[in-house]
């Protein structure tokens, strides 16, 4: 039975993963949080799952590489430097990094990519996300994931196309941009809407998370899949087989 080690085990997602892992055929190798030794957990586990903080990613990747243990990274708020570290680690171990481990969101991203590619530049793309009041980063990792999918379909990158929020006299909307708006309040687990609009009509693709367990199940499924992979950087699309 594959053993999973959890970085960020005392957080909401870490606890949810621990709760669903046995029912999905995984054994818990243990957990590590701020102040714990990440290397010990990496040596004990067959695969690691990281839902900690962006500031801990470097140490966790180093521990995973030293132990040759694959790692699923669901931590959000990552910077280009973090992604460079992930790319480097993927030379030695299997790494799956995603802004959302829900299988439903994985499919949504695929639909967004296809819609943006097929509809063309006459359609504007806007993304609206809402999370609970305690979420510490914005936009959400899922909004970024969906924005990247839209940008890929449009033949650009999110770095080039993103407009994060709007304020003041912004002028007319620029063609080819991707707007992202973040809302925070209450206990919302995660709502994401991708709006594709043109003159006279619009399409809305929506995912609403009602239970954090959906992300936990997806993370465990991703970890079980990743445990048997060669070194490289992987995505949830590959877990889904699409």
Contacts for 99 with CB less than 8 Å, ≥ 6 apart: 74, 76, 140, 141, 142, 143, 144, 145
Catalytic residue of the set 131, 132, 192, 207: 131
Q: So what's the pLDDT on residue 129?
A: 98
Count of C-beta atoms within a 10 Å radius of residue 199: 7
The per-residue pLDDT string of the chain (242 residues; one tens digit each, 9 = 90 and over) reads 999 999 999 998 999 999 999 999 999 999 999 889 999 999 999 999 999 999 999 999 999 999 999 999 999 888 999 999 999 999 999 999 998 898 899 899 999 999 999 999 999 999 999 999 999 889 998 999 999 999 999 999 999 999 999 999 999 999 999 999 999 999 999 999 999 999 999 999 999 999 888 999 999 999 999 998 999 999 988 887 76
Q: So what's the pLDDT on residue 216?
A: 94
Determine whether 12 is an active site residue.
no
Q: So what's the pLDDT on residue 242?
A: 60
Does the CA dihedral 15-19-24-28 come out positive or negative?
positive
Q: So what's the pLDDT on residue 69?
A: 98
Query: Which stretch of DSSP H or E encloses residue 116?
Result: helix 103-119
Determine whether 132 is an active site residue.
no
Q: So what's the pLDDT on residue 103?
A: 85
Closest CA to 69 of 106, 42, 102: 42
Q: Where are the beta strands (DSSP E) in the chain?
A: 3-7, 27-32, 47-50, 71-73, 94-97, 124-131, 162-164, 178-184, 190-198, 201-209, 232-234
């Amino acid at each position: 039975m594959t053993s999973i080690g959890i970085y960020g085990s005392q957080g909401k997602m870490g606890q949810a993963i621990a709760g669903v892992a046995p029912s999905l055929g995984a054994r818990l190798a243990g957990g590590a949080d701020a102040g714990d030794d990440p290397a010990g957990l990496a040596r004990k586990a067959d695969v690691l799952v990281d839902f900690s903080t962006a500031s801990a990613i470097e140490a966790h990747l180093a521990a995973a590489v030293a132990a040759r243990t694959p790692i699923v990274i669901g931590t959000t708020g990552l910077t280009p430097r973090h992604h460079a570290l992930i790319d480097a680690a993927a030379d030695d171990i299997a790494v799956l990094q995603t802004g959302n481990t829900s299988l439903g969101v994985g499919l949504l991203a695929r639909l967004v990519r296809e819609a943006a590619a097929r509809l063309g530049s006459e359609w504007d793309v806007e993304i609206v996300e809402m999370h609970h009041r305690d979420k510490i980063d914005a936009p959400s990792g899922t909004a970024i994931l969906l924005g990247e999918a839209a940008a890929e379909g449009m033949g650009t990158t999110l770095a080039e196309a993103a407009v994060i929020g709007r304020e003041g006299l912004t002028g007319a909307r620029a063609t080819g941009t991707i707007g992202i708006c973040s809302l925070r309040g209450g206990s919302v687990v995660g709502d994401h809407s991708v709006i594709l609009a043109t003159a006279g009509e619009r399409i809305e693709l929506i995912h609403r998370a009602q239970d954090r367990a959906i992300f936990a199940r997806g993370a465990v499924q991703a970890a079980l899949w990743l445990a048997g992979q060669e070194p490289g950087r992987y995505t949830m699309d590959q877990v889904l087989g699409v």
